[in-house]
């Protein structure tokens, strides 16, 4: 992969057309929405069953949101004859289905025929494919999932690891901090991102055994790393931290708990709207619900990058709709243009020499 891009070089994003609860229809619609709106000239490689993909393109052309036919030149269909189901065992699927759409999309990226790939399919299989085909950087054992969470400041904080690495050693959490800080800086354009260690209290003595071991390791990396100390679960949403470091078990609980509370808030508001006395009140509440959904729905950011790989792979929510897919491709374009992969290789090499 080239480390940097000339601004005139169109980027190429490989999209798994067959992965996710609403594939291929919503995936294809998302790709067309992206291509119609995109100003960067990026290309999409849509990977899957060519007949079904073509049928969805035809259906979309006659739909409510027709796409600009001029953008069709930036879309290429790549055939893949198999599909990995959502509940298949990741390593078994990876062994038995080498021509599955998500494997082919990842392989295109590994070969340099695409600059990044994205799939709303089987998360575990995406991770295995990415680790095997793209390769890991430095002494990363398993890629980390970096999930964006909305904040009161109207921005996002990134949680690393959000579920891939369940039992972690202190050195892994240090890697998550470096990987997350670089992603935030390079791909999301946040200068000198604030890195916080997720704990049960802000004081440095707080935390479980792992967190208490990691705290001094992160503190020792100042000022190179902008480590702001321990943060608590509520701080993640308050806009005071950019990168939240935790093991994948804890990150998953944080993420799912936030998802559950957000859903609860939306359910309460939706019930309110249904019980409204008159049409005007109902409309006001439904509009408020829509705005709340736009901020809280994690699918709005479209995808979570797998960090620690020698290439870019994004996993999208299984429930992704067209909008989520379009947003995810946009995120992939930004990351590919940012030179993130070259930067992490350099940073982890430096880390290896320092350690």
The residues that touch its own copies, with contacts defined as CB under 8 A, are 150-152, 163, 166-167, 198-201, 207-209, 211, 232-238, 246-250, 252-269, 272, 280-281, 284-285, 288, 291-292, 295-296
Run of H or E residues at 259 = helix 248-274
To its own copies, the closest distance from the beta carbon of 252 in angstroms equals 4
Taking the least distance from each CB to its own copies, the nearer of 8 and 209 is 209
Please, which residues have CB within 8 angstroms of residue 246's CB and are 6 or more apart in sequence? 159, 160, 161, 173, 176, 197, 198, 254
| Numbers of helices and strands, H then E, in the chain | 11, 11
Q: Are strands 156-160 and 144-150 parallel, antiparallel or unpaired?
A: antiparallel
Cα(272)–Cα(263) distance, rounded to whole angstroms?
Answer: 14
Exposed/middle/buried for residue 270 (C-beta within 10 Å: 0-12, 13-18, 19+)? middle
To its own copies, the closest distance from the beta carbon of 285 in angstroms equals 6
Closest CA to 27 of 90, 106, 102: 102
Cα(3)–Cα(1) distance, rounded to whole angstroms?
Answer: 6
To its own copies, the closest distance from the beta carbon of 233 in angstroms equals 3
Exposed/middle/buried for residue 232 (C-beta within 10 Å: 0-12, 13-18, 19+)? middle
Taking the least distance from each CB to its own copies, the nearer of 65 and 295 is 295
Q: Is 116 helix (H, G, I), strand (E, B) or coil?
A: strand
Closest CA to 200 of 192, 190, 208, 210: 208
Taking the least distance from each CB to its own copies, the nearer of 197 and 341 is 197
To its own copies, the closest distance from the beta carbon of 200 in angstroms equals 4
Taking the least distance from each CB to its own copies, the nearer of 10 and 239 is 239
Taking the least distance from each CB to its own copies, the nearer of 19 and 248 is 248
Between CA 52 and CA 68, with CA 100 as vertex, the angle to 5 degrees is: 40
Closest CA to 325 of 2, 9, 21, 11: 21
Cα(256)–Cα(254) distance, rounded to whole angstroms?
Answer: 6
Taking the least distance from each CB to its own copies, the nearer of 282 and 345 is 282
CB 218 within 8 A of CB 225: yes
To its own copies, the closest distance from the beta carbon of 287 in angstroms equals 8
Taking the least distance from each CB to its own copies, the nearer of 55 and 276 is 276
Q: Is 316 helix (H, G, I), strand (E, B) or coil?
A: coil
DSSP state letter for 235: G
Between CA 29 and CA 34, with CA 319 as vertex, the angle to 5 degrees is: 30
To its own copies, the closest distance from the beta carbon of 291 in angstroms equals 6
Cα(136)–Cα(59) distance, rounded to whole angstroms?
Answer: 40
To its own copies, the closest distance from the beta carbon of 341 in angstroms equals 27
Cα(320)–Cα(38) distance, rounded to whole angstroms?
Answer: 19
Taking the least distance from each CB to its own copies, the nearer of 58 and 267 is 267
To its own copies, the closest distance from the beta carbon of 242 in angstroms equals 15
To its own copies, the closest distance from the beta carbon of 250 in angstroms equals 6
To its own copies, the closest distance from the beta carbon of 12 in angstroms equals 33
Taking the least distance from each CB to its own copies, the nearer of 121 and 138 is 121
Taking the least distance from each CB to its own copies, the nearer of 73 and 205 is 205
């Amino acid at each position: 992969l080239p480390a940097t891009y000339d601004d005139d070089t169109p980027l190429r994003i490989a999209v798994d057309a067959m992965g996710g609860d609403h594939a291929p229809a919503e995936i294809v619609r998302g790709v067309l929405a992206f291509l119609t709106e995109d100003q960067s000239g990026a290309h999409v490689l849509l990977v899957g069953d060519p007949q079904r993909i073509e049928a969805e393109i035809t259906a979309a052309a006659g739909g409510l949101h027709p796409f600009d036919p001029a953008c069709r030149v930036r879309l290429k269909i790549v055939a893949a004859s198999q599909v990995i189901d959502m509940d298949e065992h990741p390593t078994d699927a990876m062994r038995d289905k080498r021509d599955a759409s998500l494997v082919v999309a990842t392989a295109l990226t590994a070969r340099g025929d695409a600059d990044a790939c994205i799939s709303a399919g089987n998360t575990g299989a995406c991770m295995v494919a990415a680790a095997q085909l793209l390769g890991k950087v430095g002494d990363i054992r398993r890629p980390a999932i970096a999930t964006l969470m909305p904040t009161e400041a109207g921005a996002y904080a990134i949680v690393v690891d959000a579920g891939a690495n369940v039992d972690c050693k202190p050195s892994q959490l240090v890697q998550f901090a470096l990987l997350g800080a670089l992603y935030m800086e390079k791909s999301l354009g946040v200068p000198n991102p604030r890195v916080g260690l997720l704990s049960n209290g802000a004081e440095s003595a707080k935390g479980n055994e792992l967190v208490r071991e990691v705290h001094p390791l992160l503190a020792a990396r100042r000022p190179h790393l902008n480590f702001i100390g321990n943060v608590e679960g509520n701080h993640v949403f308050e806009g005071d931290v950019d990168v939240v470091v935790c093991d994948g078990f804890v990150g998953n609980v944080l993420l799912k708990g936030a998802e559950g509370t957000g859903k609860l808030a939306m359910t309460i508001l939706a019930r309110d709207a249904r019980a409204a006395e008159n049409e005007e009140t109902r409309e006001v509440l439904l509009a408020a619900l829509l705005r709340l959904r736009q901020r809280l729905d994690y699918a709005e950011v479209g995808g979570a990058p797998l960090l620690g790989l020698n290439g870019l792979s994004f996993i999208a929510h299984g429930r992704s709709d067209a909008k989520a897919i379009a947003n995810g491709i946009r995120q992939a374009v930004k990351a590919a243009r940012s030179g993130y992969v070259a930067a992490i290789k350099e940073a982890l090499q430096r880390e290896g020499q320092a350690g």
